[in-house]
Amino acid sequence: MKLERLPALELADRARMAPARMAVPGHAAMVPFRGVPMLPMPEHVVEAVRTAASEVFPRSSRGSEELRQAIASRLRAAYGLAVDPGRELLITHGAQHGMSVALRALLSPGDEVVIPAPSYFFDGMVRLAGARPVYVPSDESRGWDHVPAAVEAAITPATRALLICNPNNPTGYVPSRERLCQLLGIAARHGLTVFSDESYERYVWDGPGYVPQMLLRDHHPDLVTVTSLSKNYAFTSWRVGYVHAPAHLLKPIHHAFEWDAINVGDVAQAAAHAVMTGPQHWIEQEFATMRARRDILRGGLESAGLASVRPDAGVFVFADCTPLRFRGRGLERLLLDHGMTAIAGDAFAGPDTHVRMVYGGSAADLEEVGRRLGELRRGSGDGVVARPPVAE
């Protein structure tokens, strides 16, 4: 099977390799876009790593008992979820790994997976499981709301799963409890497993608020949630996440995981335990600035005449760049030529006139983005864009 590269990583490499001669005069520097917080670990995590590095741990393919207990305790405290850490949690190398293993464990070649879109880069993971993704457009006019009737209409005799991203990447849409109940009701009627990537649970600024699908287990028992510590604890460098599923689903996922990776490194798990159970002020300070940064970026987009739905969550704005008169890879290259990195919407199975921009950078950098977009917009309005994107 031939797979393209993960779009975010491919674009990041292009941005790093972009030669200075491609920059427009006056715009030589790339604007440093950042997504999730990239922070040094606090001292209590560093100390836990020092201690763990000198120890020898018994191998546990489900993951550290201490870490699973800490996850269960947090889910109980934060959401009132009762979780059996011994039978319902599996530690993985991040959410991406957890979702990929879960899909391969529970799907078979020829199965179909319905995915409300735009959505995160699930395509390759679904195809590696031998299944086929079926994308259902969400309603931009209603804040990229998922449309239950359209989801149900996409189900065929081959459909085996529904896959959602809650909160959604790239749109920042957060489904309400009512909407989740409707989606899970569809899954129950058709005997589908529901996979949910809930990696941005701590990045909700507005709207109805994040509702874990596991709170709705009485509607449908066949639920699989994957979560990333990278997003929620600035843990990108450590690659730790987990799968939360009922025992009858976690058992085959665990078996597939053992064949895939055996276990997650013990030092990384010790760090994860420390970061989850220790003080949180060091990262909560970062979260407290996110809504303001979102509004700065959206304000710049609006001033440039580029529309966007206000994202209720995440670290991204999904902007309509139709006035710039480029699409897809051409739109990405246009922005890159002007020092801005953004992923076109078709990478998310959405419209290729849109781009996902992240707003984790500084206020000054986000203001600079707005200024550059304004110049681009004025140029396109005159029938001239500063320079057509070069071929790659």
- For the chain, give the mean pLDDT: 92
Alpha helices by DSSP H, the chain = 7-17, 43-53, 65-79, 94-106, 123-128, 148-153, 177-190, 229-232, 247-261, 266-277, 281-287, 290-303, 328-337, 363-381
Q: Tell me the torsion sign for CA atoms 2, 119, 239, 105.
A: negative
Encode pLDDT of 153-200 as tens digits.
999 999 999 999 999 999 999 999 999 999 999 999 999 999 999 999
User: Confidence band (pLDDT; 50, 70, 90) for 17?
Assistant: confident
392 lies in a domain? no
Give the pair of three-digit tokens for residue 133.
Answer: 């993704």
318 and 271 share one domain: no
Q: Are residues 365 and 255 in the same domain?
A: no
With respect to residue 229, please indicate whether it lies within any of the assigned structural domains: yes
241-244 and 89-92 as β-strands: parallel, antiparallel, unpaired? antiparallel
* One domain for residues 59 and 193: yes
Specify the CATH number for the domain of residue 315. 3.90.1150.10
Q: What are phi and psi of 243, to 5 degrees?
A: -105, 135
Element (H, E) at 343: strand 343-344
Instruction: Return the H-helix or E-strand segment holding 318.
Output: strand 316-320
> In the chain, how many H helices and how many E strands?
14, 11
**Residues 53 and 149 placed together within one structural domain of the fold:** yes
Mean pLDDT of 369-389: 72
What gap in Å lies between CA 109 and CA 86, rounded to an integer? 30
Q: How many distinct structural domains can be found in the chain?
A: 2
Longest dimension (CA), the chain: 67
Is the pLDDT at 71 greater than 60? The verdict is yes
184, 150: one domain:
yes
Examine residue 354 and state whether it is found in any structural domain, yes or no.
yes
Q: For residue 388, tell me if it sits in a domain.
A: no
How many Å is the Cα radius of gyration of the chain?
21
Domain containing 232 — which CATH number?
A: 3.40.640.10
Render pLDDT for 228-241 as a digit per residue (tens, 0 to 9): 998 899 898 899 99
Instruction: Please provide the DSSP assignment of 222-268 as one string.
Output: -EEEEEEHHHHTT-GGG--EEEE--HHHHHHHHHHHHHHHS---HHH
- 97 and 209 housed in the same domain: yes
Query: Is residue 36 in a domain?
Result: no
Is 227 domain-assigned? yes
In a shared domain, residues 18 and 164: no
Check residue 167 and report its DSSP letter.
S
Contact assessment for residue 90 and residue 243, using Cβ atoms and an 8 Å cutoff: yes
At 44, which amino acid appears?
H
Same domain, 191 and 332: no
| Domain end residue (candidates: 279, 310, 338) | 279
Q: Given a cut of 70, is residue 389 above it in pLDDT?
A: no
Element (H, E) at 171: none
Domain that holds residue 320: 7-30+289-381
Q: Are residues 56 and 199 in the same domain?
A: yes
- Which of 279, 297, 332 delimits the end of a domain? 279
Is the pLDDT assigned to residue 222 strictly greater than 60? yes
Q: Report if residue 223 sits inside a domain.
A: yes
Q: Are 89 and 68 in contact (CB under 8 A)?
A: yes
Residue type, 368: E
Q: Last residue of some domain: 250, 279, 308? A: 279
Helical pair 290-303 and 363-381, crossing angle rounded to 10 deg: 20
Tell me the CA distances in angstroms from 176 to 207, 211, 376, 380, one per residue in order.
Answer: 8, 7, 37, 38
My answer on whether 138 and 194 are in the same domain is yes
Are both 167 and 299 inside the same structural domain? no
Neighbours of 280 (CB within 10 A): 14
Least confident of 1-10, 40-49, 124-133, 152-161: 1-10
Cα-based angle 309, 315, 317 (whole degrees, multiple of 5): 25
For residues 263 and 338, state if they share a domain: no
Q: How far apart are CA 179 and CA 388, in angstroms?
A: 43
**pLDDT tens digit sequence for 92-133:** 999 999 999 999 999 999 999 999 999 999 999 999 999 999
Strand 223-228 and strand 241-244: the pairing is: antiparallel
Query: Does residue 386 lie within any of the structural domains?
Result: no
With CA atoms as reference, report the closest residue to 349 among 99, 10, 103, 119. 119
